[in-house]
């Protein structure tokens, strides 16, 4: 039986840092981005475009460090580094 994304994410332990390791370099670039692809390619649903505020929010605490957004944003508008100081994720079941 296959597991839902939520069930799979439950198998990951997070130690969230206070500061984000994911930075949107320029919100104006997001404003003019036609596809808003980050809202779809992130497996942990980290990025969300807010049309009223005209900004992309970043729920960095949910990041599973797959690295996709570093390459998949068409404008390379996401600065990506690993969380420091022992923060980030631990895969409990491999």
Residues that bind ligand SF4 (CB under 6 A): 22, 24, 29-30, 33, 36-38, 42-44, 46-47, 49, 56, 63-69, 73-75, 77-78
* Euclidean distance between CA atoms 35 and 2, whole angstroms: 30
d(CA 89, CA 61): 9
3 vs 43, which CB is nearer to ligand SF4?
43
Measured from the CB of residue 19, what is the shortest distance to ligand SF4 in angstroms? 15
**Closer residue to ligand SF4 (CB): 5 or 67:** 67
CB of 2 to ligand SF4, least distance (A): 20
DSSP state of 36: -
Using CB atoms, what's the residue nearest to ligand SF4?
Answer: 33
CB-based burial of residue 55 (10 Å sphere; 0-12 exposed, 13-18 middle, 19+ buried)? Answer: middle
CA 11 to chain CA centroid, nearest Å: 18
């Amino acid at each position: 039986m296959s597991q839902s994304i939520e069930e799979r994410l439950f198998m990951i332990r997070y130690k969230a840092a206070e500061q984000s390791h994911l930075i949107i370099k320029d919100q104006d670039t997001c404003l003019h981005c036609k596809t808003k692809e980050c809202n779809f390619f992130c497996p942990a649903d980290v990025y969300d475009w807010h049309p009223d505020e005209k900004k992309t929010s970043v729920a960095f605490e949910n990041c599973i460090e797959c690295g996709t957004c570093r390459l998949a944003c068409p404008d390379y508008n996401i600065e990506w580094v690993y969380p420091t100081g022992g923060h980030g994720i631990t895969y409990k079941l491999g």
